[in-house]
Structure 1
Amino acid sequence: MQLEFISVFGIITGVIARFWPVWIALAVIMVPSYVYKKKLGLYGQLYDSGVGIAGLLICLFWLFTAIFASTISPFNPLQQLVVMKDALPGAIDPDTHKVFLFGGDKLARDVFSRMVYGSQIVLIIAPAATGFALMVGITLGLPAGYYGGRIDSVLSFLANLVLAFPVILLFYLLVTPGIMDTPIPYAMAGLFFLFPIIFFVVLFWTRFKNRPDRLYVLLAITLILGGWIYAGLVFDADPLGIVHIAPNQLNIFVAVVFASSPGVFRIVRGLVMDIKTRDYVAAAQTRGESPWYIMLWEILPNARGPLIVDTCLRIGYTTILLGTLGYFGLGLAPESPDWGTAIKDASRLLRAVIHPALPPTIALMSFVLGLNLLADSLREQSMKD
């Protein structure tokens, strides 16, 4: 069957038109933020530089793309239309008369729709896994840097032990089918997912232990909400069915947290060893504050600048890592629309057709670029402060 095509101009305008919810969301967020930037603290300071605006624009673009993926995509990412196999960009489906804006892949799926839905996987796993790694690294790095001695030696040895493994080899060992079919990933998930609950319980206890009316409310919210999420993620036992993660995604999630936590630990430990010598820490010790109060409410807030910058960079590294795992066919299902898997599928026929490989590659590159620009701007602002 002879396919019809739209022009290059039609492809460009079609892509721009499909992203209409993203343009509206960007305008709603960024225009008021720019107008009231002086009242928005560190976030508002990002609008003082072109690098910060560019980084925010790119990151928010992909965030809203993930949120509105079902509206933006003209096709289901798994839908196959045989006639559109390896179709060139701009090909028109003869049955639905919808356009394959970026063409079709080797399995006759819409490349544009798969790129859009791939952003959901990246923006769920990468920031969430980085957040959990941050919780683990902070919870262990604070006492290591503050107390020193044997505690520091033991925790630093464990962190260095993990860092000694090559990252790709470590992920290969954790995500291979032999390990995925064992209780090991669930046991590791059960351990790692406890850290956010422990962190917030200790955070609220040290702050409000003399105000039981507020303390009990915060502890109840933390334990109920944390237990609900914990049960859904680790045991897949959420009664409402809201909190759920596929087994293959859980394995990748756990592997990212396991590999990233030692790096966060070392950064937090170094910051704490420097900040604990400051006068305001000595003043808190003189007031008789507990060590964990000093760590969480005196030291940690003053270490937030480098940690925010590292978080942005680490999300970018995790995104690249997810793409690498997908490229090697590890972790996610073969039909997954994540960018790494899409690049792997397209690379097998790269000499014959190049168009299926370009959109996920550019998407991955642009998102990481946005995170790096955002981190650079945050670093500049933190140095000014």
Structure 2
Amino acid sequence: MALQDSIARVEKGTVRPAQRPAWMRIFRSRTAVVGLCLVLFWVVAALLAPILPLPSPTDSDVMAMANPNPSAAHWLGTDILGRDILSRLIFGARTVLFVAPLSVTVAMIVGITLGMLAGYFGGWIDAVVSRASDIILAFPVLVIYVILIANIGPSVINIVIATTIASAPGIGRITRGLVLGLKEQEYIAAAKLRSESTLYIMLVELLPNCRSMLIVDACLRIGYTIITIGILGFLGLGLPPPNPDWGGMVKESVTVLNVWPLMSLAPSFAIVSLVLGFNLLADGMREAWKP
């Protein structure tokens, strides 16, 4: 009789199949798929850059050969120094896709650690972390970047340090809020009754339940960091030459914008498309992973 009831419920649709894994649910969101395609386009281009038949992004032809018009040898033309724009665009993607995720990853590690400690222990630890975060968050993010990079110099390591200082407080605040809501749950009380260590509770019980929100936040922050790297390059505080820098490419085109439009439009489109990809991917994940 029980078996017949179960079969009847399945036929009526009241019993649903096992829920898909979280990462599979992302592909049901058109927003996430579009964002993922945009990101993968630049990732594949960056990975294939060394084997593509492209001119060197740092070698200059003679000034007489500098040409703003596309040609068979230079699909997007060359810049004012005779360097191939397409080559610099693709090799610049390698720089952006390395520096931005690396910076956000370090900032996430520091921010999650501080947020976990503040939210779980509370007391003076929470007070110290919260007050330090408030002081840093009181300043505009771009101002923090400019002050730090201008004083310690432009390099990959210094950009990572600046991103960590500017982003970790916000990440810590998000993590703290999540932990405050989770640490009162019954499974945390059960872990304490089992005499589990604090490290175990944080890493095994709390962190996995904060994972979805933090991954979405990380995707958004990668997009913000890409914009910031472009702004720093435009201000002359990006990676030092001859490294291809999308923001630096836009800066170099300011004086010849009417004559060399692709020199500015190409890196601008690259920044917009990559940032849009990460933002759409984050929105799609938020939609797919909502309770």
1:73/1:333 Cα in 2 relative to 1: closer, same or farther (>3 Å)? farther
2:109 pairs with 1:135: yes
Residue from 38, 42, 45 that aligns with 2:22: 42
1:105/1:40 Cα in 2 relative to 1: closer, same or farther (>3 Å)? farther
Gaps of 5+ in 1: 1-37, 93-98, 181-246
Residue from 152, 156, 166 that aligns with 1:179: 152
Question: Which residue in 2 is equivalent to 1:74?
Answer: 54
Cα distance in 2 between the residues matched to 1:339 and 1:39:
42
Deviation by residue 1:116-135 (Cα, 9 ceiling, x = unmatched): 00000100000011001010
Matches within 5 A, 1:328-347: 328-347=235-254
Aligned amino acid, residue 66 of structure 2: K
2:291 pairs with 1:318: no
Cα distance in 1 between the residues matched to 2:19 and 2:184:
32
Question: Which residue in 2 is equivalent to 1:88?
Answer: 69
Residue from 210, 214, 221 that aligns with 1:303: 210
2:189 pairs with 1:276: no
1:128/1:39 Cα in 2 relative to 1: closer, same or farther (>3 Å)? farther
Question: Which residue in 1 is equivalent to 2:276?
Answer: 369
| Relative contact order, higher structure (CA 8 A, sep 6+) | 2
Question: Which residue in 2 is equivalent to 1:60?
Answer: 40
Deviation by residue 1:157-211 (Cα, 9 ceiling, x = unmatched): 11111111222221111111x433xxxxxxxxxxxxxxxxxxxxxxxxxxxxxxx
User: Runs in 1 of length 4+ with deviation above 3 angstroms?
Assistant: none
How far apart are 1:341 and its partner, in Å? 0.9
Deviation by residue 1:220-252 (Cα, 9 ceiling, x = unmatched): xxxxxxxxxxxxxxxxxxxxxxxxxxx722111
The answer as to whether partners of 1:102 and 1:112 remain within 8 angstroms in 2 is yes
Matches within 5 A, 1:229-308: 248-308=155-215
Instruction: Let me know the Cα RMSD of the aligned residues.
Output: 1.7
SS in structure 1 of the partner of residue 278 of structure 2: helix
Residue from 120, 134, 137 that aligns with 1:163: 137
Identity of aligned residues (%): 43
How high is the TM-score relative to the length of structure 1? 0.68
How far apart are 1:73 and its partner, in Å? 5.1
Cα distance in 1 between the residues matched to 2:26 and 2:177:
26
2:100 pairs with 1:126: yes
Cα distance in 2 between the residues matched to 1:149 and 1:361:
47
The answer as to whether partners of 2:31 and 2:280 remain within 8 angstroms in 1 is yes
How far apart are 1:336 and its partner, in Å? 2.4
2:248 pairs with 1:348: no
Cα distance in 2 between the residues matched to 1:53 and 1:86:
37
Gaps of 5+ in 2: 1-17
